[in-house]
Amino acid sequence: MAHSTLRSRLGCWLALMGMALWLTACRPLTIPMPTAAVPGTAPALAPGPVAGAAGLDDPLYPTLGNGGYDVLHYDIDLTVDVAGNTLNGATTISARATQALSAFNLDFSGLTIGQVTVNGAPARYRRQASELTITPVQPVQADSLLTVTVAYQGQPQPMRDPGVPFLPLGWQRFGDDIAVVSEPSGAMTWFPSNNHPLDKATFTMRLTVPKPYQAAANGVLSDTQDNGSSTTYVWQMTDPMATYLATVHIGRYEVITAAGPDGVVRRDYFPLGTPASVKASFAPIPQMMQFMRQRIGPYPFAAYGVALLPVPTGWALETQTLSTFGAGAGGAAWDEGEVMHELAHEWFGNSVSPATWQDVWLNEGFATYFQWLWQEQNEGSAAFNATVQEVYASMLAQDVGSPLPQQPPDLFTDATYQRGAWTLHALRLTVGDVVFFKILRAYYQRFAGSHASTADFIATAVEVSGQPAVETLLRDWLTNPKLPAPPAPSAQTPVIAL
């Protein structure tokens, strides 16, 4: 019984939504390997200021993100009218220019801009779809620090993204509450940003909401100010975060706090009236954190918990340090595998972020495999083997293709989740448990707080295992339109004693 829920957490609701299965293009895919910088190619003279690029050439979302600067910190200061779902405030971006800039872009869609300043001086701006082009009075020097403030107000409009056809993205209402779910593109509905996981930054959010509402966001609640008829909640995310993981939840909550392992702050936000049976779904989180710690390393951030929406959903999202879950339908608990899945994303997806959206299996394949590993620890290897075999049979029956998406609708599919997880299982069968977990730990340690590509993972696996054949195996699992045969288990595959 546990298997079927584990097997197709996505398959189920995709099927429910009447989605067709996505067939992968039948040509072999290539994975670029990291290229070393070529010495001696720097120009003799520093180039004059030019406009920063309007995108980062992501293979799936070429216009997401912008070139020419690196964001260090977002300070998002918003006063929210909960009844009208409108906001009024400003986002201040601290960035470092990576080139001399005559102009640069932010990603921002909808809302009405009041003013834009660059280093304190009003700047000209132009908007075209979700590209906001800012022209400062003085060009920005290469390597200089840049402070950009955008003041804005209005009612955020959730957007449609072809990668997530079943859900509007961004700032939106869920029942009487307001919440943000953005993966992959929705952050631009509520704050201007460099909207791509390649450019992670720390965040401060100051959220002023009328009483009796509360506002939760990523990280640690550092201050609560009573303004009479409203309350200001100040949230600090002091580790780098990708824009798609930024979240806000506004509603009336029962807040349950506790001390977690290693000094991690535990806080869960449950809408008032959440049944005890639903809250109980999240009780195993401390043991799950311990499980991840033993296999990969300590939890990466200062806080962890969940924020529940007041309406049922078939999905959850790993919003950094504060995973978003729907209410349990009819008081039903969440599946333990889902709870494990979102927690595992804090290491794989949130701390180590995908370099491009084509690398999303590094999020979903890993989080899914940790679901299976949790089952292996708790129910034993027979139950685990039944799950992996069942998933394999179902992938075979559906002719599931490459886990590297070629277009946005391929992002959240059985290919990235299940074949992504099976890619890790195939690696484990080939190298054995000891080397497999060594590879995962090395990969995590190398890219924690930053981002990694598929080529980075393959290079780490080859280097740590010392087995060049691992590259062929991983490329087959990741790029072959046909599902590879499961590898024969290596001689040294006993489950490791931790």
Residue 342 interacting with ligand ARG (CB under 6 A)? yes
**Cβ 415 to ligand ARG, closest distance in Å?**
13
DSSP string spanning 22-49? PPPPSS----PPP-PPPTT-S-SSPPPP
Residue 317 touching Zn ion (CB under 5 A):
no
What does the block give as tokens for 473? 């195996």
CB of 308 to Zn ion, least distance (A): 17
Binding partner of residue 410 among ligand ARG, Zn ion, none, CB under 5 to 8 Å per kind?
Answer: none
Which residue's CB comes closest to ligand ARG?
A: 183
- Interface map 288-327 toward ligand ARG (x if CB under 6 A): ---------------------------xxxx---------
CA-based Rg of the chain, rounded to a whole angstrom?
23
Stretch that binds Zn ion, among 30-38, 232-240, 329-337, 358-366 (CB under 5 A): 358-366
Residues 159-188 that bind ligand ARG (CB under 6 A): 164, 167, 181, 183
Closest distance between Zn ion and the C-beta of residue 50, in Å?
38
List phi, psi (to 5°) of 241. Answer: -140, 140
Binders of ligand ARG among residues 366 to 425 (CB under 6 A) are 412
Residue from 385, 461, 463, 395 nearest 430 by CA: 461
For 11, how many CA atoms within 13 A lie in the half-sphere containing its CB? 16
Tokens of 423: 């890619």
Rounded CA gap, 82 and 209, in Å?
Answer: 7
Query: How far is it, in rounded angstroms, from Cα 464 to Cα 14?
Result: 37
Between 221 and 245, CB nearer to ligand ARG: 245
367 binds Zn ion (CB under 5 A): yes
CA dihedral 258, 263, 265, 266 (to 10 degrees): -50
Instruction: Report if residue 80 touches ligand ARG, rule: CB under 6 A.
Output: no
Q: Which is nearer to ligand ARG, 146 or 164 (CB)?
A: 164
Q: What is the DSSP letter of 140?
A: B
CB-facing half-sphere around the CA of 203: CA atoms within 13 A:
30
- Is residue 343 a contact residue for ligand ARG (CB under 6 A)? no
Q: Per CB under 5 A, does 352 bind Zn ion?
A: no
Amino acid at residue number 83: A
CA 395 to CA 411: how far, in whole Å?
16
- Among residues 411 and 429, whose Cβ is nearest to ligand ARG? 411
In the window 350-369, what residues touch ligand ARG (CB under 6 A)? Answer: 364
Contact residues for Zn ion, defined by CB under 5 A: 364, 367
